[in-house]
């Protein structure tokens, strides 16, 4: 019952966040932009995901939760500092995904600040401190009380929403489209690429593992390769969230 209420509250929160932008911005672009992002981050997102992006001459954004480093879970193992350093050295963006990977709305102000400080320290070990990183909500679950703290700390915050960012957008609640199981649905996301190519905007994909036998929240290497190749073939600029923001002239 409590779980159900919490779930309802979470959905109502995300709905409210979509109704009124906390940091409004206009995504206006004549060139379609596609960003591939990875959350948590499983080791196959590095060994297969990053490699696929690089084979197409592009880079991705990896949202790291330091508290998950090296963790072994059913079907996936999370990367550690060495993996993060490799991603950064290969030109990928390292973003923040909180330290403990708790839903932000479950944390009070001081617990949230302490968690974000802790992840900032972890990320600084990867590549030194950066001005402002991008952030992705664990479980894509937003929080209204956390808006000022997140807005102050991060260049953008990404959620889900299954939409393309186009026109009025909230930098504190960027939309993204999930690449997940079943595999046929993941493959069918080429339609979303065609949509953004037809009517330019900024399509952000997110996924987790990239494996021959993926978890429910990942896809197979062939599928990711197909999506990245399709975006490039359709004339989309494929780049990190940070690079896309620079191109769009947003969140300077
Ligand atoms: Zn996550």
Using the mean position of ligand 1's atoms as its centre, give its distance from the Cα of residue 215 in Å: 13
What is the per-residue DSSP string for 94-161? EEE--SS---GGGS-HHHHHHHHHHHHHHHHHHH---S---EE-GGG---STTHHHHHHH-S-EEEEE
Using the mean position of ligand 1's atoms as its centre, give its distance from the Cα of residue 21 in Å: 23
Using the mean position of ligand 1's atoms as its centre, give its distance from the Cα of residue 138 in Å: 4
What are the chain's domains?
Answer: 20-248 (3.20.20.370)
- Per-residue model confidence as pLDDT tens digits over 116-142: 999 999 999 999 877 899 999 999 999
The predicted structure's pLDDT at residue 128: 81
- Per-residue model confidence as pLDDT tens digits over 189-240: 999 999 999 999 999 999 999 999 999 999 999 999 999 999 999 999 999 9
- Per-residue model confidence as pLDDT tens digits over 98-123: 999 999 999 999 999 999 999 999 99
Q: Which two tokens stand for residue 112?
A: 């949230």
Using the mean position of ligand 1's atoms as its centre, give its distance from the Cα of residue 69 in Å: 12
Does pLDDT of 170 surpass 90?
yes
The predicted structure's pLDDT at residue 135: 98
Using the mean position of ligand 1's atoms as its centre, give its distance from the Cα of residue 139 in Å: 6
Using the mean position of ligand 1's atoms as its centre, give its distance from the Cα of residue 2 in Å: 22
Using the mean position of ligand 1's atoms as its centre, give its distance from the Cα of residue 100 in Å: 10
Count of C-beta atoms within a 10 Å radius of residue 235: 10
Using the mean position of ligand 1's atoms as its centre, give its distance from the Cα of residue 30 in Å: 32
Which residues lie below 8 Å from residue 110, measured CB to CB, with a gap of 6+? none
The predicted structure's pLDDT at residue 177: 98
Using the mean position of ligand 1's atoms as its centre, give its distance from the Cα of residue 140 in Å: 8
Which residues lie below 8 Å from residue 128, measured CB to CB, with a gap of 6+? none
Using the mean position of ligand 1's atoms as its centre, give its distance from the Cα of residue 125 in Å: 20
pTM as predicted: 0.97
- Per-residue model confidence as pLDDT tens digits over 30-89: 999 999 999 999 999 999 999 999 999 999 999 999 999 999 998 899 999 999 999 999
| pLDDT-derived band at 1, boundaries 50, 70, 90 | low
């Amino acid at each position: 019952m409590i779980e159900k209420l919490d779930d309802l509250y979470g959905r109502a929160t995300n709905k409210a966040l979509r109704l009124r932008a906390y940091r409004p911005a206009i995504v206006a672009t004549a060139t379609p932009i596609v960003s591939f992002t990875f959350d948590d981050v499983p080791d196959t997102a590095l060994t297969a995901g990053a490699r696929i992006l690089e084979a197409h001459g592009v880079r991705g954004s990896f949202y790291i939760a330091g508290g998950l480093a090296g963790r072994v879970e059913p079907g996936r193992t999370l990367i550690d500092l060495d993996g993060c350093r490799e991603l950064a050295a290969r030109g990928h963006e390292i973003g923040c995904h909180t330290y403990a990977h708790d839903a932000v709305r479950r944390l009070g102000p001081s617990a949230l600040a302490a968690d974000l400080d802790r992840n900032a320290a972890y990320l600084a070990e990867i590549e030194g401190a950066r001005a402002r990183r991008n952030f992705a909500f664990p479980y894509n679950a937003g929080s209204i009380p956390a808006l000022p703290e997140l807005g102050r700390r991060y260049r953008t915050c990404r959620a889900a929403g299954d939409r393309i960012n186009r026109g009025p957008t909230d930098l504190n609640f960027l939309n993204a489209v999930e690449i997940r199981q079943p595999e046929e649905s993941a493959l069918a996301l080429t339609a979303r690429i065609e949509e953004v190519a037809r009517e330019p905007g900024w399509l952000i994909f997110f996924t987790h593992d990239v494996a021959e036998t993926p978890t429910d929240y990942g896809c197979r290497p062939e599928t990711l390769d197909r999506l990245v190749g399709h975006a490039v073939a359709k004339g989309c600029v494929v780049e990190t969230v940070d690079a896309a923001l620079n191109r769009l002239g947003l969140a300077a």
